[in-house]
Structure 1
Amino acid sequence: MTNAGARPQGPIGKVLVIIPTYNEADNVEPIVRRVRKAVPEAHILVADDNSPDGTGKLADELAAADDRVHVLHRKGKEGLGAAYLAGFAWGKDNGYDVLVEMDADGSHQPEELPRLLTALGNADLVLGSRWVPGGRVVNWPKSREFLSRGGSAYCRAFLGVSVRDVTGGYRAFRTHTLEALDLAEVASQGYCFQVDLAHRAVRQGFQVVEVPITFVERERGDSKMSKDIVFEALWRVPAWGVTSRVNRLLGRRHN
Structure 2
Amino acid sequence: MKNTLIIIPTYNELENIQLMIKAVLTQNEDLHLLIIDDNSPDGTAEIVKNNMLLFPNRLFLEERSGKQGLGTAYIHGFKWALNRHYEYVFEMDADFSHNPNDLSLLYDVCVNKKADLVIGSRYVKGVNVVNWPMSRILLSYFASKYVRLITRMDIHDTTAGFVCYRTSLLQKINLDKINFVGYAFQIEMKFKAYLLKAKIIEVPVIFTDRSRGQSKMSSGIIHEAVAGVLIMKIKSWIGKLEI
- What's 1:3 paired with? none
How many residue pairs are counted as aligned between the two chains?
240
User: How many percent of aligned residue pairs carry the same amino acid?
Assistant: 38
The Cα offsets for residues 80-107 of structure 1, whole Å up to 9 and x where unpaired, read as 0011111111111122111100000000
CA contact (8 A) 1:127 1:168 kept: yes
In structure 2, distance between residues paired with 1:134 and 1:117: 22
Q: 1:40 aligns with which of 7, 29, 32?
A: 29
The Cα offsets for residues 12-66 of structure 1, whole Å up to 9 and x where unpaired, read as 7400000100000110011111111333311000110110000001101111221
Match of 1:65, SS state, is coil
Match of 1:190, SS state, is coil
Is residue 2:124 matched to residue 1:132?
A: yes
CA contact (8 A) 1:204 1:254 kept: no
In structure 1, distance between residues paired with 2:164 and 2:84: 17
Is residue 2:84 matched to residue 1:90?
A: no
Is residue 2:137 matched to residue 1:148?
A: no
In structure 2, distance between residues paired with 1:253 and 1:191: 19
CA contact (8 A) 1:134 1:213 kept: no
**5+ residue gaps, structure 1:** 1-11
TM-score (norm 2): 0.95
Is residue 2:19 matched to residue 1:30?
A: yes
In structure 2, distance between residues paired with 1:113 and 1:102: 9
Relative to 1, partners in 2 of residues 1:134 and 1:148: Cα closer, same or farther, differing over 3 Å?
closer
Name the amino acid aligned to 1:94.
R
In structure 2, distance between residues paired with 1:22 and 1:126: 25
Is residue 2:41 matched to residue 1:52?
A: yes
Indicate the larger mover: 153-162 or 15-24. 153-162
**5+ residue gaps, structure 2:** none
Following superposition, the deviation at residue 134 of structure 1 comes to 6.7
